[in-house]
Amino acid sequence: MTVLITEQSIPPARSPLPPVSRNAGIDALRAVVTLLVVFHHSALTYGAIGGWFYREVPTDGRLETKLLILFCTVNQAWFMGLFFLLAGYFTPGPAEQKGGWRYLWERLTRLGLPLLIFGVVIGPITIALAQTAKGRPFAATLWYLWKRGTFDSGPLWFALALLIFCVFYLIWRAVPFQRRAESVFPSNGVLLLAALGTGAGAFALRLIWPVGVTVFNLQLGYFASYGVLFAAGCAGAAGHWLTAVPERVRRPWLTVAWLTLPIFPAAILLAPIVPALRGDTSGGWNPQAMVYAFWEPFVAWGFILGLLHTFEQRFQTMGPIWASLARRAYTIFIIHPPILVVIALLWRDVSAPHLVKFAVTGTLACLVCFWIAGLLLRVPSIRKVI
């Protein structure tokens, strides 16, 4: 049965739902996590597990590499999920005020145009830059990629996923007898059920799409938490959940997150000497995959709630530097891959500990991205989109 979305078929909200106003704490948190994304990709450059355009150091068994892997694994448990939570939080208000089609068009502009530009231009440029480390000429490689019609969305998979989620939200909004948005923050019991359900969903998805397997550059094995958190953001917009995390929820879940954090690394370390713990963490019917799937939401819920509260308390207002960073965060997210790759290439022949290279390359990439993003946002046509 086909659901046809028309402006008439998308009913107005039962009660007016104004857009959630800008919040200094949320904007600052989004900006900081964007910089964390840059450092995450710097870690992949120097040995952590994961797909990236340029990998200078292969993944091995050294302590440096294990620390970078741990850094990325913990990040992955919560940081992209936080972006989906925030995106969902800022979805219902604009959708209700602007109407379905206008809202969808604005999402296509803000998300679809950067996705298209990255896939056709920035992605191939980044690939060609990375290939120079193997002695392949940049211009010839880039021309070859363009002739083949190469489309690489890179980190802009997030924009594609968010577009899909927005369409699902509009379809849900068109369904009669939909439940009203909740105004009361979920109880600890509800959050526990959500964590268990998310873990079970992640485990099930990874039976079909193990971690590392992509469909249109989407790692569907992670989408259980992404979907739950986007839906939670949508549900919490009316009650302003993200700016008023109650202590009765925040404290116990932050404690749970810290207590849960060492469980997955411990399971990996014990697997060689405990046969019952052996298995492939990426997916399948095995203990490692199960531990990983359930470990993620229990870490994520606590870290996200804790960070929301911390940034809400710290940032009642933002100074000029923080305001500039917040305004440039999305642009930094879009442009950082080629910049990070170039910086890594510039000193790849310098001998230094991998942790030092990770820190220096990540820091320089953040600074250069901040500067270039500021220049780009001076262009009216770019500023209008991002």
- Domain spans of the chain? 28-385
Residue 8: the pLDDT is 41
Residue 182 DSSP code:
P
Query: Would you state the pLDDT for residue 286?
Result: 95
| pLDDT at res. 4 | 39
Cα–Cα–Cα angle for 286, 291, 297, nearest 5°?
140
Q: Is the pTM of this model over 0.85?
A: yes
Per-residue pLDDT for 237 more than 60? yes
Q: Which string of DSSP letters, residue by residue, matches 281-303?
A: TTSSSSHHHHHHHHHHHHHHHHH
- Maximal CA-CA distance, the chain: 64
Query: For residue 213, how many other CB atoms are within 10 A of its CB?
Result: 14
pLDDT value for 306:
96
Distances (CA, A) of 167 to 240, 258, 301: 23, 35, 25
pLDDT per residue as tens digits for the range 169-220: 998 888 776 655 557 889 999 999 999 999 999 999 999 999 999 999 999 9
pLDDT one-digit tens code per residue, 243-264: 989 999 999 999 999 999 999 9
Q: Do 20 and 89 meet the contact criterion of CB atoms below 8 Å apart? A: yes
Q: Which residues contact 4 (CB under 8 A, 6 or more apart)?
A: none
For residue range 303-352, what is the model confidence (pLDDT) as tens digits? 999 999 999 999 988 899 999 999 999 999 999 999 999 999 999 999 99
Residue 164's pLDDT is: 96
pLDDT category of residue 274 using cuts at 50, 70 and 90? confident
Task: List Cβ neighbours of 350 (8 Å cut-off, separation of 6 or more).
Answer: none
Calculate what percentage of the chain has a pLDDT beyond 70: 93
> Could you tell me which of 184, 183, 237 has the C-alpha nearest to residue 19?
237
Contact at 8 Å (CB) between 215 and 154?
Answer: no
pLDDT for 19 equals 55
